[in-house]
Amino acid sequence: TALRNASYFHVKPDMHEGSLHSFNVAFQRELAQRFTLDIAYVGNRGRDVQTQFNENAATVVGLPGNAGRPLFGPFQKSADVTTWIGTKTTYNSLQAKLDRRFSNGLLLTSSYTLGRGLSYVNGDSNTTIATPADIERSWARTDQDRLHSLVESFLVHLPFGSDRRWLRDGALSHVVGGWQVSGIFAYQSGSPIGMTMSNATLNAPGNTQRPDVSGTPKVLGGIGSNNLWFDTSVFSSPAPNTFGNARRNDVLDGPRYVNLDATIARLLSFNRIKGEVRVDIFNITNTPHFNNPNGTYLGAGFGQITSTVANSERSMRFGLRLLF
């Protein structure tokens, strides 16, 4: 009885080591005014990626209790038996970058990525496939997948001081000289919202149930308790003993990510000693970075955003570096 009720993990002797194949094709063009344009296709393919799989999850739906578990009939075993199996992953992207080489106190870089990553599970090899009865139902976007990503960075040497354009002489040059400002602006479209619900009426232990969805939910944009971020009226419970038609991570994206970091620094020089004093400001606009809304259908707070990303509020860091 103890063995029948115990969960355990085992490794198959014929397990293959996974592999990742990366490839890219790039085009580069030098433009006027010290600009360079890069356009590339970047992708990868994972093969035999080690993924946890519950061998004693129900392989059919609709049977009462644990009857659908493969080991329940011959051995009356109702607990999970987990192993690793090889699965695949894919990533495809179009990447563009525009660089302006440093000149006259200015450096600029703009980069944009249009990408899509697909897998069977969220996370690493410690994540179990959610639908062992129908593995292909779990093939969907990764948790981290964001279709659009834009990053802008800059570095500006302020044109004041002894070796700059203005205020080269006098006491004031020692005050306003040597300053530089840099920053990074990032924009990312939302990551997918995982929709789930209780599997009580699925009658397939070890499988994750998802709701039915009619069309694409409308984004309402509400933030906080009792405010819906998306329209929940298009969701419904699937018929008993059937999987819902909502696929893993394929229904709706969460809120976008927008952030601006900046650094103000001054270069110092005292005879043979050189240094830098700087202040780094993270999320300078103090823009809230919201987590995805609750995706558990019929659960408390379904469709609501009630938290932000940890440690994402505006913060500052001061630094001093000396070279001698």
pLDDT of residue 167 exceeding 60, the answer is yes
Q: What is the pLDDT of residue 75?
A: 65
Helix (H) or strand (E) holding 276: strand 273-282
Residue 293 burial (CB < 10 Å; 0-12/13-18/19+)?
buried
pTM of the shown model = 0.87
pLDDT of residue 93 exceeding 90, the answer is yes
Q: What is the pLDDT of residue 171?
A: 64
Q: Are 197 and 298 within 8 A, CB to CB? A: yes
CA distance 307 to 324: 47
Q: What are phi and psi of 230, to 5 degrees?
A: -140, 160
Coil vs helix vs strand at 233: helix
Percent of the chain with pLDDT over 90: 69
The lowest-confidence range among 86-100, 173-187, 199-213, 218-232 is: 173-187
Q: Are 244 and 208 within 8 A, CB to CB? A: no
pLDDT band at 183 (very low <50, low <70, confident <90, very high): very high
Coil vs helix vs strand at 175: helix
The lowest-confidence range among 101-110, 149-158, 163-172, 198-207 is: 163-172
